[in-house]
Amino acid sequence: LLHVLVIFVLMNLLVLL
């Protein structure tokens, strides 16, 4: 469950970069 949120956040960070 938490791993999904982590992946979502990581993807968002990549988009910001």
pLDDT at 1: 77
- In this prediction the pTM is 0.18
Rounded CA-CA distance 5/12 in Å is 11
Sign of the alpha-carbon dihedral angle for 6, 12, 16, 17: positive
User: Which helix (DSSP H) or strand (DSSP E) does residue 16 occupy?
Assistant: helix 2-16
Structure tokens at 1: 């469950």
Taking only the tens place, the pLDDT of each residue in 2-14 is 999 999 999 999 9
